[in-house]
Amino acid sequence: MSSKDPPAFPRRQQYAAVVLAALVVGAVFAPTVYGARDGPDGVVAVVTIEGPVVGSTADNVEDELREIRANESVEAVVLKIDTPGGAPAASERMYTSIQRTSREMPVIASVQGFSASGGYYAMLPADEIYVLPTSITGSVGLAARAPDADPPVEGPSGPDKRGSNPIEQWGTQQTLADVFIDTVMEQRGDRLEVSREEVSEADVYLGVRAVQNGFADEIGDVDAAIAEAADRAGLEDYAVDERDTSVRFFPFLFKTDGQLMVAYDENPGYGQVETLEYAMVYEEAVPHFDTLEEVTRTEVAAAAEDTQQADTAAAGGQETSPATAAARGGEQR
């Protein structure tokens, strides 16, 4: 080594210098890289509920909400709803499951096209209801087949299987309707701007009117509902978990021969069909067919599209459906 070369550091001192430099760099940059975001504070689950409310719908909603309650990372729930209603028992099951969830975390309902009748009933335990300006809500009532004028004295299995008389049938219908109205008054009574008698008229309302009369709370889309749910849960940084409760065979409602029916197959003339003796459903949203044989999923979809177009035709003095007429100033059962 020449006399002009710098003195060499011992190898141990070189290692110490490298380690010291790494610690200094880490101390400077670590807060920027890791301190600001260690991941979301929690999760907002968005549960999609669409189509008629039937037993399989309730099964899936119960399963999803049960899993959500058991998931410690989920801090709030948004119900993304688009349904005209359906079977009372299924609506009640969904109501109970949503109520149980709302006791553990914030639940916000976000109405898309419809959340009427049984759909409206099911979402009542939500902390707030968000609607779009064109969303349809309400229809607090019960659809039922008219009681038989001449019920059988004995059922097919003997005297212990008697059919109920018309008075008993009407009594059952009224009991179900009263339970619906009582629940609305219990859950939203302090926010309603209408009387119990007006609630019992089973009117439907578009979004703005629904907020004005207390059937809903805010105008806003699903993103606004998610933000509200996160705020109620105290989440500044959150992830969104989309969950779909669609059933394997998507059911559809229709009316034929004066009855409400639900089908689970492409051709309900030959597939599974169920008659709804009682229904919490907004009937104006249900397509009507003269005979069962002419009903297919394609025909129902086309008829439903025609119904939706009629409901949104509000300009130029055009004829509108009862839903639109109700929202524009008149009431419609």
Task: Report the C-alpha gap between 84 and 254 in whole angstroms.
Answer: 11
CA angle 330, 258, 278 (to 5 degrees): 80
Give tens-digit pLDDT for 149-196: 444 444 444 444 444 566 676 677 777 788 888 989 999 989 999 999
In CATH, the number for domain 42-244 is: 3.90.226.10
Helix (H) or strand (E) holding 191: none
The amino acid that residue 311 corresponds to is: D
Helix (H, G, I), strand (E, B), or coil: what is residue 269? coil
Cα–Cα distance for residue pair 82/80, rounded to 1 Å: 7
Amino acid letter at 144?
A: A
Angstrom distance (rounded) from CA 166 to CA 329: 36
Residue 276 near residue 241, CB atoms below 8 Å = no
73-129 confidence digits (pLDDT tens)? 999 999 999 988 888 899 999 999 999 999 999 999 999 998 988 999 999 999 999
Specify which of 115-119, 132-136, 178-182, 280-284 reaches the highest per-range mean pLDDT: 132-136
Burial class from Cβ neighbours inside 10 Å (0-12, 13-18, 19+) for residue 179 reads: middle
Residues of the chain with CATH 3.90.226.10: 42-244
Contact 83, 49 (CB under 8 A): yes
d(CA 12, CA 10) in angstroms, rounded, equals: 5
Residue 280: its pLDDT value, please?
74
